[in-house]
Structure 1
Amino acid sequence: MVSYRKRGKVWQYEISYKDLDGAYKKLRKSGFRLKSDAELAASQVKSLYADIRQFKAGEIPLSVYFERWINLYKRNSVTNVTFIKYENTLNHIRKIFGKMPLKDITRTVYQERLNVFARNHAPRTVSAFHKQIRAALLDALDEHIISNDPTRKAVVTGVAVHRPKKALDYGEWQKLIHHLDPDQIPEMMIYLAAVTGMRYAEILGVTTSDINWQEGTVDVNKTWDYKYHTGFKKTKNKASMRKLPLDSISLHHLHVFVENHLTSPNAPLFLVNGHAMVSAEINQVLTNKLHALGLPRVTFHGLRHTHASVLLYQGVSVLSVSKRLGHSSITTTQSTYLHIIKELEAKDTDKILAILKNA
């Protein structure tokens, strides 16, 4: 319902409507010199926004709309981990867009705020952030809450990520494992990664009940969610569930560690005061250690590549390395370590020719 009244020398329109929660409210705007001007403005509002509640929704902050949107469309349709990612986006929206109404977010404004986010995030992260917001705003556009898509033709940038060395060579690997303190939680995790090739989440998922002291093996049967703190999770795939044989030295280090860090059989071995170190924390410990030893920087995941590279260069078959890493197929191993395999093939060719020559 629309009504008009004259306030002094200007006209005002008043539209009665129900808000998104069903409560009756009024939308007023004044300052029109003629009544016909007020009527035209009111009719434009009603024609552009079929439901006045949707017009009012255009005045709510992006963060409020996005929160309603993820609870309505995402909470029951995505995994808990994925929903947490949407919640992280919501927190960034609150910081970057503040209380800016949806209707005030133009393409220029959106690009400016996206650039702010990109100042300290990698392009891949910025792209994910942009895609989630864009999905919500396209729904807002379909519902006529906004009249234009502010995310159209947005340019995604980000901070270039410095790529450390992918893996240590054999000598560097030896130097690292011989200078680690197996009694320290972070350094024992680094040690295990270097001598087993286990993924970080797999190492965090190890409990004393997973260790078979008689057989000298570690049973990889679960992981620990260090990103979203949801506890134990399944392994990456079925092939990731495996028993890893340990050498006598590594088994001794692990035995001493367990004795000095008593935990219940089913509790994660490597929590620090009940806290699982996030990847940035363990990577910083590793970086500091490598720097102290005068070794090139690799990431914690790079220790997995190091382990595989060392085994391949030492003549272990690709199939055995694939099983030890828990790859879903040998093709994954071959594609990941193609450069090493080609080098080894070249050496094998020389050996073959030498054998035939001396036959």
Structure 2
Amino acid sequence: MKDLNDIVVQKKIDEYAKTHSRKTTHEVLLKIKTSLRDAYARGYITNDFARLVKTRGVNPPKRNKALSITDFKKLRNYVLQHPENEFNILVLLALETGMRRGELLAIRPESLYEYGIKVRHSISPTSEDTSLKTQNSKRDISINKEVYDLIRQIPVKENGYIFSFGGFKQSEQLAELLTELDIKKTTFHGLRDTHASFLFAKDIDIAYVSKRLGHINIQTTQNYYLVLMPEQEHQQNSEALNLLNSL
């Protein structure tokens, strides 16, 4: 550790930033800085150079894009027609509930009620802590009977959970599925966005949507999820244009 300095650490951080978002890089750097300050306090390094290391790089294009209504229906129909694949039911639940991936993986038999899911825990690939993201994330989400019956048919795993963690490769599996169906790529969080956008497109009250998503307050929902699906946005633009032409 005696050879560590800001130049060495900065070089490593810059290399990390080439394959990770600026936000992720910043979060990692904060942890490194904490460790460096601790090392300095204990006398393992002679200089407190943590403040000299900076987060660099750029944020990549947003990957969590909501699907269009057309692609939403296409994906939903496919996974409904192929429930023999457990992963398809996981995707269906993401579309139907807006639950986060970790919340979906944390579903146990006792999480189910007729007809809904009690969200009480979340699974992380980097931590054994199963706590939810926020206090408001604790919620009950209603689902229809068809989806409920499909979940009940999945054999419970030895660890007590319904869905297999599968090495936390769900992102790769989703990418493969969307490519197969010729649907633009998105992420599991993008499926959450899709659920929210679909509800907004159906004029569902924002207070209900906010509670269903487990947000801290309605403002959070407005800031992050009040984005219309492409077809809905196009429809409103056309209606506005027609209104102007009629003046």
Give the TM-score normalised by the residue count of structure 2. Answer: 0.79
User: What SS does the corresponding residue of 1:225 show, helix, strand or coil?
Assistant: coil
User: What SS does the corresponding residue of 1:219 show, helix, strand or coil?
Assistant: strand
- Larger % of strand: which? 1
Kindly indicate whether the alpha-carbon contact (under 8 Å) linking 2:111 and 2:117 is maintained by their aligned counterparts in 1: yes
Structure 2 match to 1:183: 84
The answer on 1:286 being equivalent to 2:174 is: yes
Kindly indicate whether the alpha-carbon contact (under 8 Å) linking 1:204 and 1:276 is maintained by their aligned counterparts in 2: no
Please identify the structure whose Cα radius of gyration is greater: 1
RMSD: 3.1
Kindly indicate whether the alpha-carbon contact (under 8 Å) linking 1:204 and 1:223 is maintained by their aligned counterparts in 2: yes
Structure 2 match to 1:154: 53
CA distance in 2, matches of 1:336, 1:194: 17
* Number of aligned positions between the proteins: 234
Kindly indicate whether the alpha-carbon contact (under 8 Å) linking 1:121 and 1:159 is maintained by their aligned counterparts in 2: no
Structure 1 match to 2:160: 267
Kindly indicate whether the alpha-carbon contact (under 8 Å) linking 1:203 and 1:223 is maintained by their aligned counterparts in 2: yes
Structure 2: runs of 5 or more not aligned = none
Shift of 1:319: 1.4
Kindly indicate whether the alpha-carbon contact (under 8 Å) linking 2:201 and 2:228 is maintained by their aligned counterparts in 1: yes
Structure 1 match to 2:108: 207
User: What SS does the corresponding residue of 2:60 show, helix, strand or coil?
Assistant: coil
CA distance in 1, matches of 2:70, 2:173: 20
**Residue of 246, 255, 261 corresponding to 2:143:** 246
Shift of 1:301: 0.8
Distance 1:112 1:263, change over 3 A: closer
Percent identity (aligned): 27
CA distance in 1, matches of 2:171, 2:131: 23
User: What SS does the corresponding residue of 1:269 show, helix, strand or coil?
Assistant: coil
**Residue of 207, 211, 214 corresponding to 1:323:** 211
Alignment of 1:11-26 (within 5 A): none
CA distance in 2, matches of 1:130, 1:334: 30
Distance 1:227 1:165, change over 3 A: closer
Distance 1:126 1:245, change over 3 A: closer
Give the TM-score normalised by the residue count of structure 1. Answer: 0.57
Q: Which has the higher contact order (CA 8 A, sep 6+)?
A: 2
CA distance in 2, matches of 1:270, 1:322: 26
Amino acid at match of 2:143: L
The answer on 1:227 being equivalent to 2:126 is: yes
User: What SS does the corresponding residue of 1:323 show, helix, strand or coil?
Assistant: helix
CA distance in 2, matches of 1:247, 1:142: 57
Kindly indicate whether the alpha-carbon contact (under 8 Å) linking 1:291 and 1:297 is maintained by their aligned counterparts in 2: yes
CA distance in 1, matches of 2:223, 2:84: 36
Alignment of 1:1-359 (within 5 A): 62=1, 102=2, 104-141=3-40, 146-158=45-57, 160-164=59-63, 166-180=65-79, 181-212=82-113, 215-230=114-129, 233-255=130-152, 257-258=153-154, 261-263=155-157, 267-271=160-164, 275-278=165-168, 281-340=169-228
CA distance in 2, matches of 1:140, 1:198: 40
Kindly indicate whether the alpha-carbon contact (under 8 Å) linking 1:114 and 1:130 is maintained by their aligned counterparts in 2: yes
Q: Deviations over 1:292-330 (max 9, x none)?
A: 111111111111110011111012111121122122222
Structure 1: runs of 5 or more not aligned = 1-61, 63-101, 355-359
Amino acid at match of 1:241: K
Kindly indicate whether the alpha-carbon contact (under 8 Å) linking 2:171 and 2:187 is maintained by their aligned counterparts in 1: yes
